[in-house]
Amino acid sequence: MTGIVNRGAALSFLLAVSMAGCSMPGCNKSKEGESVDLFTTTKVERRDIEIKVTATGSIEPIRVIEIKSKASGEILALPVETGDVVSAGALLAQVDTTDVAAAYRQARADLEVARVRESVSRKSLDRAADLLARGMTSSEEYDQARLDYATARANVIRAETDLETKRERMIETIVRAPSTGTILKKNVEKGQIIASVGQVNAGTTLMTMADLSSVQVRAMVDETDVGKLRPGLPVTVTVDAFPGRSFTGEIQKIEPQSVEEQNVTFFPMIVQIPNSEGLLRPGMNASVDVQIMKKTGVPSLPNDAIKTLQNAGVVGMFLGLNPDSVNAFVDANKARFTDHDSTRRGPGRRGGPFMANAPSESSARGARASGATARARPSRSSGMHFSSRDIPQGPAPGVMAAGSIGVVFVPDSATAKVVLVKTGIQNWEYTEITSGLKVGDTVYLPPSAALAMQSQAMRDRLKQFSVIPGRSSR
């Protein structure tokens, strides 16, 4: 019963293909009747392949300083605005000095009184000492004179300390920039009353500033990429504000504590960037690219052109090849391909890639044992029981490590040849070909997702022709 159904399906498929006008492997018809090749071709070309880690974040100042006043009172002057670049020591704010000035004058007067009392006490002590030497006074009176002088001296020191404190309070009414930087935010305005910084009160923040000659990006890196990164690696940063320009920096550190966002684990990466032109501003969205490896001018193919050994049979089926034959050939030659590549291949060496239509004698025996021939036979069920959406796409970066064996399909008249290749480094677009093909060789490129979906839609429309005249549709 199965054989009857398969033969009926085969007749249905041939009828549908005939009506669609398709005769080549991997060919389909668009809605307008124009031919659309599911498998286009591409060539091995020399390209620059760069492996990089990409993360996103925002521009931040390296160090933000909150400006506060140790003096309280009314702000009399505030000569800076947001965005102003100020030098170290520049005037930022002036607080009312009425109260502290009065206290300073009082402290200075108290010091003068204390110094006079010290002078009088010194003279009294000297007279007491002279009288004691003549025997004209008692030792008790001399000791009292010494005590009075010591007290007067202590009062002088206390008054000097108080005066110095009041002088500091006067100075603190003038708020100056602690370093060169840019005013990021103003929290107060002229005429506002502010509270001073104390042991209990944190004080009023007048403004915030930061040195923007160097900035940093705090980017979130996926945990799978953290092991590739280390402090000191150069990075390239781009921002939306300057789409045609990139900025260079380096990784400062990878923070030890992870951050989870939408069930995905990230690690914050701090990247420092020189900003001498002042183009980068806090809050700008930034994209960070960290170059891990780069090769220049290496033979390469698009990732979708290279298939893993496991997917070779399925892709070959779309090209009209017998999947069992393809898999048998791959199994018979993958080990010899590695040995051949490492021991015999080299500049000036004879011998080409391992292909399904020209296998070595031992691989041919292995292929025959599995039902394969020197040229892979088209499968009778090719194109019947699968959709173009099932075509395996190229491996994502990291799936095929450098030195892995891949499979490509080379055009050969109305069918295709299977070629084993050895791969090098790989990014999101291209994979390096280290052996098996040479620059200029043509290979099949499977369809994009859009063409695959278009092909499936066409197949669905062709199902209406799948009923053989005279047979029940049940």
Q: What is the CATH number of the domain that holds 286?
A: 2.40.30.170
Residue 142 Cα distances to 131, 354, 393, 472, angstroms: 9, 118, 108, 139
Q: Are residues 345 and 428 in the same domain?
A: yes
According to DSSP, the β-strands at 35-37 and 73-77 are: unpaired
Residue 473 in any domain: the answer is no
pLDDT of residue 388: 37
Q: Are residues 245 and 326 in the same domain?
A: no
Give the domain extent around 225.
Answer: 54-61+215-292
Number of structural domains (the chain) is 3
pLDDT of residue 446: 77
Helix, strand, coil abundance in the chain, percent, nearest 5: 35, 30, 35
pLDDT of residue 94: 95
Q: Are residues 435 and 325 in the same domain?
A: yes
Q: Are residues 220 and 366 in the same domain?
A: no
Q: Are residues 245 and 318 in the same domain?
A: no
Q: Are residues 325 and 264 in the same domain?
A: no
Boundary-marking domain end, from 190, 210, 230: 210
SS3 204: coil
Q: Are residues 390 and 430 in the same domain?
A: yes
Q: Are residues 408 and 320 in the same domain?
A: yes
Residue 222 Cα distances to 188, 227, 288, 340, 370, angstroms: 41, 10, 13, 39, 44
Residue 474 in any domain: the answer is no
The model's pTM: 0.59
Q: What is the CATH number for 102?
A: 2.40.50.100
Using 70 as the pLDDT threshold, list the residues of the chain that sit under it: 1-38, 198-201, 336-402, 447-474
Residue 234 in any domain: the answer is yes
pLDDT of residue 38: 63
Q: Are residues 179 and 43 in the same domain?
A: no
- Residue 45's beta-bridge partner residues? 300
SS3 415: strand
Q: Are residues 194 and 231 in the same domain?
A: no
pLDDT of residue 339: 52
Residue 205 Cα distances to 177, 186, 189, 284, 350, angstroms: 14, 9, 11, 25, 78
pLDDT of residue 449: 39
Distance CA 129, CA 412 (A): 126
Residue 52 Cα distances to 425, 426, 429, angstroms: 11, 10, 12
Q: Is 224 exposed, middle or buried (0-12, 13-18, 19+ CB in 10 A)?
A: exposed
Residue 111 in any domain: the answer is yes
